[in-house]
Amino acid sequence: MSDFGNFLRDNFQQFDAAAAVDIFIIWLIFFGMLMLLRGTTAMAVIRGATIVLIGAFILGRIFDLRVLNFLLSNSFLGLLIALPVIFREEIRRALERIGRTAARAFGNVQQYDETLDALRHAVAGMAQRKIGALIVIERETGLQEYTERGVRIDAEPSSELLQGIFFPNSPLHDGAVVIRGDRVAAASVTLPLSENELPGDLGTRHRAGLGITERTDAVSIVVSEETGDVSVAADGRMYTRLDDVRLRGLLDRLLGGANGSAP
């Protein structure tokens, strides 16, 4: 314990204003990353690993466990290398969130006013006839890696086009339609499925619609083939059983329509 006390004393003697600024910047970076990772599974892993490391450090110092102390003192570099690998998805989403915030700050935000009416009419018609559909609206995070797996459309969105794509037995009715700005970018797009538990009445379309919003900032509209119910997924959350009024308000809020503003 005396060696540790000497170590602390020597470091405090070298502490000056530059060191205080250095520590504050590092603390700010770590705090920002923790805030971005808040609410993800990575936070639970970080919490558990921190408790284990603190406990091992205390035991090693109290009982002078030389092997354990050696491992702890020489594992920092390995942890720095392992963290980006272990938490690559969470880190990617956190960096995307920073990029989206910067895009909004500079006014680089897509406008969807002209497509919302076409979406509402198409969804209302498909819901009434119980035609299953999955429509994904791209926001700041690009969906090119997903649209490349589908069939390129590049057409102006209209109620007739969207209903025709999802009409039963249509060659493009399987998969999702991706809308980019004021264009239908692709159809028959395969999306990643959510790993979260969903109610039993929500099927594969809902899982795919939710999954893409867990990985990007896209907004998904799902029409159930069994019930005709309309759902919207955004930011990893599913809004179910939406009537026309609630659908209109939610899309205006999420996509910055004429009667709302983008979040």
Q: All domains of the chain, ordered by start, with CATH?
A: 2-105 (no CATH), 113-255 (3.40.1700.10)
Spatial separation of the C-alpha atoms in residues 208 and 174, rounded to whole Å: 12
- 40 vs 48, which has greater pLDDT? 48
Residue with tokens 């990985």: 215
pLDDT at 142 over 70: yes
Spatial separation of the C-alpha atoms in residues 126 and 167, rounded to whole Å: 9
pLDDT at 78 over 50: yes
Question: Quick one: CA dihedral 196, 199, 200, 206, positive or negative?
Answer: negative
Confidence category of residue 216, pLDDT binned at 50, 70, 90: confident
Note the pTM of the prediction, 2 decimals.
Answer: 0.65
HSE toward the beta carbon, residue 108, CA cutoff 13 A: 8
Instruction: Give tens-digit pLDDT for 103-132.
Output: 555 555 555 666 888 999 999 999 999 999
Q: One-letter amino acid identity for 79?
A: L
pLDDT at 97 over 60: yes
pLDDT at 179 over 50: yes
Q: Sort residue 176 into left (φ over 0), alpha (ψ -120 to 50) or beta.
A: beta
Helix (H, G, I), strand (E, B) or coil at 186: strand
Angle at 193 between CA 237 and CA 244, to 5 degrees: 45
